[in-house]
Amino acid sequence: MKDKPDLMVVGHFAIDTIYRDGKLLGRFPGGPPTYVSLAAVKLGVKVSVLSKVGWDFGKNYTELLARNNVDLSLLKRERKAETTKFELRYSGWKRQLKLKAAAPAIRLEDVPKNLKVKAVHVAPIANEIKENAVERLRKNSEILSLDPQGFVRKFDGSGNVYLKSWRKTGLIGLFDIYKSSFEEIKAVTETSNLEKAVREVADFGVKIVIVTLGKRGATLFFENSTYSIPPAPSEQVKDVTGAGDAYMGGFLAEYIHEKEVLWCACVGTAAASFVVEEVGPLRFGDKSEVHRRALKVYGKVQEKSN
């Protein structure tokens, strides 16, 4: 690792094959390490990635990340394995997800013993991060953030993705920040009431709980208060892949710089609004653009009555 990063993203890169209404839109580098990193870098944060890929993760993908100053010194290429691959089929806002290949797991020994980093974002996509690796990351970081999407997924023999119950309260309690979709927090808490689910995750010991709600924005809970964060306006919506990850890239970039939590949430929403304007990881607003959109959102934030 060249310089101590502000933020480390832990989880697998993916190769995403994206379809809309049956039409192939293309194949792109994906996964949280792509979208979180590129969104955060645009906001002036030094980012490193701890991940594993296979022989098929193209040089053009690594060059894209390196060109954008993402540190790949902890990226391991497994020559006898494939990169994690997903097929994503969209119809409107609905998505059908299929796992086509999975890279080897991220284990305890993959986390450097002497690692010291301000913030770590743990974001599995196919249950690839082992619990003892998370425990070491907790010891080596000031801020630990979780997107549990890969922990709540199960896969049938054809790779079709379903959600499963995942009540790992002790593990979740290691994290300072939690972010998921509404469907995912229901799998974590086994409740379909959004307010109850958010408070239950907070009761596990998490300081900040975020639930992204697609075109309805997001719900934010911290310091015993709940806020409704409206969506930022996009010029167009071509592809929602990676929007939640870009949200966390924006949120964490500001949070690392010790900005107000509500502002961090608005910047996350703004960062996500740029990604959806193109297909794949091709559109990330620069700092001034993201902040302009975030300011518009900030004025519309509402605190929900308890």
Cα-based distances in Å from 232 to 37, 80, 176, 246, 265: 20, 43, 25, 13, 11
CATH assignment at residue 35: 3.40.1190.20
Looking at residue 242, what is its pLDDT?
95
pLDDT in tens, 200-251: 999 999 999 999 998 899 999 999 999 999 999 999 999 999 999 999 999 9
| Residue 1 included in any domain | no
Residue type at 55? W
pLDDT in tens, 48-76: 999 999 999 999 999 999 999 999 999 99
User: Distance between CA 7 and CA 12 in Å, rounded?
Assistant: 16
Query: Is the Cα torsion angle 97, 150, 116, 248 positive or negative in sign?
Result: positive
Looking at residue 214, what is its pLDDT?
87
Coil/strand/helix, residue 4: coil
Q: What is the DSSP string of 164-229?
A: -----HHHHTT-SEEEEEHHHHHHHHS---HHHHHHHHHHTT-SEEEEE-GGG-EEEEETTEEEEE
With 70 as the cut, is the pLDDT of residue 306 above it? no
With 60 as the cut, is the pLDDT of residue 265 above it? yes
| Residue 175 included in any domain | yes
Looking at residue 34, what is its pLDDT?
97
| Residue 255 included in any domain | yes
Beta strands in 69-171, from DSSP E residues, in sequence order: 70-78, 84-91, 94-101, 117-122, 141-146, 153-155, 161-163
With 70 as the cut, is the pLDDT of residue 305 above it? no
- Roughly what angle, to the nearest 10 degrees, separates helices 287-298 and 261-275? 120
pLDDT in tens, 88-119: 999 877 889 999 999 999 999 999 998 889 99
Looking at residue 177, what is its pLDDT?
98
Looking at residue 111, what is its pLDDT?
96
The pTM assigned to this predicted structure is 0.96
The count of structural domains within the chain is 1
DSSP 8-state code for residue 214: G
Looking at residue 186, what is its pLDDT?
96
**Domain housing 109:** 7-304
Strand 14-20 vs strand 84-91: parallel, antiparallel, or unpaired? Answer: parallel
Average pLDDT of every residue of the chain: 95
User: Distance between CA 212 and CA 220 in Å, rounded?
Assistant: 9
Give mean pLDDT, residues 260-272. 97
Give mean pLDDT, residues 159-183. 95
| Residue 2 included in any domain | no
Percentage of the chain with pLDDT > 70? 98
With 60 as the cut, is the pLDDT of residue 302 above it? yes
